[in-house]
Amino acid sequence: MQKLTLLVMVAALLLVAPSALAGGGKKYEGDFSGSGSVSFKVEKRQDGKKVVNYKFRDLVVNCGGIPKLTSGSLLFAVSVNKNKFETRAVVGNPSDPKSSLSLKGELSKRKANGTLRVFGSEVTVGGDPPERDECDSGKTNWDASR
C-alpha cells in the first residue's frame, strides 16, 4: 500500500512540475504615477537575469493637447545587470521610427521602480478599433511589487 501511495505522489508531482516550471520567474505588478498599470516577470536564465513579458496598460499620452490612453508590451527579454535594466524599442525604421518606447527600471528585494516613455508620430491609442496618433507620454514613473 505504501508503494502505491508513493507511486501516486510521484506521478502527481511529475504532472504538476512542468506547469510550475513554465510559469517560472517572479511576477511584479504595479502602476504608473497618474494612471495605468504595469506587469512583468524576472527570470533567472543561464545567461543571467531577464525581465520578460513586460506589459503596460492605460498609460496616458498627450496627443496634440488631448489626453489618450495607450497599451503595449515588449516582445523580447531585457537583461538585468546589477539589479538594473534598460531598453529602447521602436516601431518602423530604427533611424526614423514611427513610435518609440524607452524603459528603465531597478529591482530591489520585493519591489521595482522605473520610468517608461512612449512617443512618436504613430502611437497606438484608443479602443476598438485602435487608432494611431502623434503622442508622447513624457517620462512616466512606475512602481511595482511582487
53: left (phi over 0), alpha (psi -120 to 50) or beta: left
pLDDT per residue over 111-134, tens digit each? 999 999 999 999 999 877 889 999
SS3 131: strand
User: Considering the domain boundaries, does residue 10 fall inside one?
Assistant: no
Domain that holds residue 38: 25-145
Provide the residue type at 142 as one letter: W
Q: Is the pLDDT of residue 21 over 70?
A: no
Beta partners for residue 66, in sequence order: 63
The cell for 100 is 518609440
User: Considering the domain boundaries, does residue 19 fall inside one?
Assistant: no
User: Considering the domain boundaries, does residue 93 fall inside one?
Assistant: yes
User: Domains in the chain: how many in total?
Assistant: 1
> pTM to 2 decimals?
0.80
**CATH number for the domain that contains residue 136:** 2.40.128
pLDDT per residue over 24-74, tens digit each? 789 999 999 878 999 999 999 988 999 999 999 999 999 999 999 999 999
Q: Dmax over Cα atoms in the chain, in whole Å?
A: 74
User: Considering the domain boundaries, does residue 78 fall inside one?
Assistant: yes
The cell for 8 is 501516486
pLDDT of residue 23: 55
